[in-house]
Structure 1
Amino acid sequence: MTTANTTGTALLTDGVRAEATIDLAALRGNLAALRERTRGPELMAVVKADAYGHGAVSCAREAVAAGARWLGTATPEEALGLRAAGIGAEQARILCWLWTPGGPWAQALRAEIDISVSGQWAMDELLAAVRETGVQGRVHLKADTGLGRNGCQPRDWPALVAAARAAEAEGLIKVAGLWSHFAAADEPGHPSIRLQLDGFAEAVATAERAGLRPEVRHLANSPATLLLPESYYDLVRPGLAMYGLSPVPEVGGPADFGLRPVMALTARLALVKHVPGGHGVSYGHHYTTSGETTLGLVPIGYADGIPRHASGTGPVQVGGKWYTVAGRVAMDQFVIDLGGETAQVGDEVRLFGNGEHGEPTAEDWGRACGTISYEIVTRIGGRVPRRYLGASS
């Protein structure tokens, strides 16, 4: 069962120290809002990094049920895990893009996973696995249009395209996609945006002149999906936006884009005690009480994903009021100074949620810690159980 907080909304399951609740109805609503915004291209639900901390299998299943025909993962292990969980190729294509030498190419081929290739070494290893297994590979060639991470440099692109075309003519692979990734789509007006749009158009033209006819061309990540219709092509790849957080908070919050945060993180007070003025709190005594006060112990720490950078800055809500982490965040716990307020052991502590009840949001935590909301939700660790609400079936 769950306990009710002061607003009457059930959040925290009885007997747990901390819990992340995942609102799958909100996730479906976010996907619907993104489809409405883009009107035409396919949608790839990006579920890498355990679906940004929300739970890859549950979120992938919900996305597929909501009509997503593509799923995006970073590592081969993530992609293979989705197939092992029963998400078959007839339900969704899965693209995996972060390969290293000696990777599980053969397993990926047998699992019907689409494979991103950014250089000749990867093409060579993939083709060796194709010949070993007898399974034709589905390949997405990735161009580096200016991000400077993964992807093939423009000077090497014609050679990679030619190698892919030759392998395709031999029946070893099918070039299913051409793609790239933005460096600064979250900064409207950044000069790199235009350069990357033009660079990708040229990369596509080069591939098409060589005879490649990909199923999908894709460039738009979450910020581009929200702000750059000219980047849509055949497929958009929302990640953070799918989970109801804004990748462009300076432009607008989730509600401005029709999105609703999917994750809420709550805990319960493990100890409440009265202390005198001048009492040091947590490691190093970086916080000392200014007078007689009440301290509350929140049993969740950096081993659970609470940033140590939240020491002295991280916001929480107890009994409808905001408090700030007092002193250092420790491995398993942190302290809040409740001042003269009354609290009891077991009271609910809202670390972040959708903000509808006045609680902090992941964006608030990102600002407090000098980071981004992506990191806040993604780093919530495995010691924190996930509870799923509003599943479609």
Structure 2
Amino acid sequence: MSAVDEVGGVAEAPPLRLAVIDLGAVRHNVQAVRALVGPAEVMAVVKANGYGHGAVQVARAAIDAGATWLGVADLDEALALRDAGLDVPVLAWLHGPQAGFTQAVLRSIDVGVSSVRQLDAIAATVAELRREVGAVARVQLKIDTGLGRNGACEAEWSALFGRAAELERSGEVVVTGLFSHLSNTSDEEDRAQLARLHSAVEQARVAGVVPPIIHLASTAGALRLPETRLSMVRLGIGMYGLSPFDDATSADLGLRPAMRVEGRVISVKRVPTGSAVSYGYTYRTSAESTLALVALGYADGIPRLGSNRAPVSIGGERFRVSGRIAMDQFVADVHDASVAVGDRVVLFGDPRDGHPSAEEWAEAAETINYEIVTRVGQRIERRYVS
């Protein structure tokens, strides 16, 4: 039978797979961090489709809450923000060897540069564009202070700063910032990185480059190491209401998780003692029991490592995934609980609402909460609430 609404029409069936994104929580989290780190500015990091939450929607909420910059990994992500009408400063910092910078220059996207080669490529782009239109590239110098990933290493700083100063003097680029990234290994290690950043800033000044914005800290540094806040902090995982720490929950930090992932029970069956469940028979019922089938699987980003360990909530009661998570579905042994086809199944959300947390799923899957939310697949419908 079809569900019928109060005026006699057919009610919309609930989606099979759903991620509810609370933009009110995003705004709350931005405002909470802004109040803590001010006068430092806040860059809202919306790379990887806003950590799976939706880059454009989260970006708008963050700007509404007082973020002044947006951060993404690559230029395609930055251009998508521009296409959506977001005209605030945007920084993109990860580029392939053949990356083209034309649209970045034309659309005022700040390009994070980690080498003289990248600076030369940007200068060549500006020279080509100036044949038809006046153009100046906005760049931020990315240096490696000890993380060992992207960024110019110390032996390259002199050449990078010298070339940047030369291009600023010729009017081809404007250096809007200088930045690095903490390892978050320990306060001692992070302070050592901060000292190296200060050294780099001084070397840049001597070379003739004086960037107006210096930034180093992401959520972890911003919350626990005030001296790393500098001109601006990059707010990533904290904006989505998740903790970057093993010893503090979201609630401890005054943050609200923004994502709730849920599905529906699509089948219920009563089975005898010893019934095996899913591939490999890694789970068998210990008594006569009820099995609830949920149409979510690793194709939707639900980690297979959560098999037999990860929690779910049905009707406000906690159960465990039972047996191996498959591509499109998993089973929960609900024992003698009253569960029916169509019941809502919450995988993770805000623990204050009684839901399992992304951290619990991360522990079950031997990973981190960042990965749990970021991997949520596109087959899962996103709905936005405030």
| TM norm. shorter chain > 0.5 | yes
Which whole-Å deviations, capped at 9, do the CAs of 1:152-211 have from their partners, x for residues lacking one? Answer: 000111111001100111100001100000112xx443x421210111110111111111
C-alpha distance in structure 2 between counterparts of 1:359 and 1:208, whole Å: 51
Which whole-Å deviations, capped at 9, do the CAs of 1:318-370 have from their partners, x for residues lacking one? Answer: 12211111111101110000111111000011111111122101111111111
Aligned length: 372
The alignment's TM-score, normalised by the length of structure 2, stands at: 0.94
Structure 1 runs of 4+ aligned residues shifted over 3 Å read none
State yes or no: 1:320 paired with 2:312: no
Which whole-Å deviations, capped at 9, do the CAs of 1:82-117 have from their partners, x for residues lacking one? Answer: 0011112xxx10000001122131011111100000
**1:29-48 superposed matches below 5 A:** 29-48=28-47
1:22 is paired with a residue whose SS is strand
Query: Partner residue of 1:6?
Result: none
Deviation at 1:67, TM superposition (A): 2.2
What is the Cα-based RMSD across aligned positions, in Å?
A: 1.2
Query: Partner residue of 2:285?
Result: 289
State yes or no: 1:306 paired with 2:302: yes
Q: Which of 241, 253, 256 is the matching residue for 1:244?
A: 241
Q: Which of 129, 132, 136 is the matching residue for 2:128?
A: 132
State yes or no: 1:176 paired with 2:194: no
C-alpha distance in structure 1 between counterparts of 2:86 and 2:345, whole Å: 36
Percent identity over the alignment is: 47
Q: Which of 360, 367, 374 is the matching residue for 1:378?
A: 374
Paired letter, 1:237 = R
The alignment's TM-score, normalised by the length of structure 1, stands at: 0.93
C-alpha distance in structure 2 between counterparts of 1:281 and 1:122, whole Å: 54
Paired letter, 1:248 = F
| The 10-residue stretch of structure 1 (191-200 or 17-26) with the greater mean CA deviation from structure 2 | 191-200
2:352 is paired with a residue whose SS is coil
Segments of 5+ residues of structure 1 without an aligned counterpart are 4-12
Paired letter, 2:354 = G
Query: Partner residue of 2:7?
Result: none
C-alpha distance in structure 1 between counterparts of 2:74 and 2:370, whole Å: 18
State yes or no: 1:70 paired with 2:69: yes
Paired letter, 2:122 = L
C-alpha distance in structure 2 between counterparts of 1:169 and 1:356, whole Å: 55
State yes or no: 1:365 paired with 2:364: no
C-alpha distance in structure 2 between counterparts of 1:357 and 1:59, whole Å: 22
C-alpha distance in structure 2 between counterparts of 1:231 and 1:208, whole Å: 19
| The 10-residue stretch of structure 1 (142-151 or 96-105) with the greater mean CA deviation from structure 2 | 96-105
Which whole-Å deviations, capped at 9, do the CAs of 1:227-248 have from their partners, x for residues lacking one? Answer: 0110111111010001110101
Contact 2:31–2:66 (CA under 8 A) maintained in structure 1? no
Contact 2:22–2:384 (CA under 8 A) maintained in structure 1? yes
Query: Partner residue of 1:10?
Result: none
**1:162-241 superposed matches below 5 A:** 162-184=162-184, 187-189=185-187, 191-241=188-238
Query: Partner residue of 1:25?
Result: 24
Paired letter, 1:343 = V
Deviation at 1:128, TM superposition (A): 1.1
Which whole-Å deviations, capped at 9, do the CAs of 1:240-279 have from their partners, x for residues lacking one? Answer: 00111010131x2112221111111111101010112222
C-alpha distance in structure 1 between counterparts of 2:90 and 2:114, whole Å: 17
C-alpha distance in structure 2 between counterparts of 1:158 and 1:302, whole Å: 47
Segments of 5+ residues of structure 2 without an aligned counterpart are 4-11
**1:101-180 superposed matches below 5 A:** 101-134=97-130, 135-180=135-180
C-alpha distance in structure 2 between counterparts of 1:155 and 1:48, whole Å: 29
Deviation at 1:14, TM superposition (A): 3.4
Deviation at 1:310, TM superposition (A): 0.6
C-alpha distance in structure 2 between counterparts of 1:356 and 1:272, whole Å: 28
Paired letter, 1:67 = G
State yes or no: 1:14 paired with 2:13: yes
Paired letter, 1:337 = D
C-alpha distance in structure 2 between counterparts of 1:120 and 1:323, whole Å: 55
State yes or no: 1:280 paired with 2:286: no
C-alpha distance in structure 1 between counterparts of 2:14 and 2:222, whole Å: 41
C-alpha distance in structure 1 between counterparts of 2:112 and 2:38, whole Å: 26
Deviation at 1:123, TM superposition (A): 1.2
Paired letter, 1:63 = A
C-alpha distance in structure 2 between counterparts of 1:234 and 1:260, whole Å: 25
C-alpha distance in structure 2 between counterparts of 1:196 and 1:181, whole Å: 8
Gap change, CA 1:104 and 1:369, over 3 Å in 2: same
Paired letter, 2:39 = G
Query: Partner residue of 1:253?
Result: 249
| The 10-residue stretch of structure 1 (13-22 or 369-378) with the greater mean CA deviation from structure 2 | 13-22
Query: Partner residue of 2:9?
Result: none
2:354 is paired with a residue whose SS is coil
| The 10-residue stretch of structure 1 (316-325 or 60-69) with the greater mean CA deviation from structure 2 | 60-69
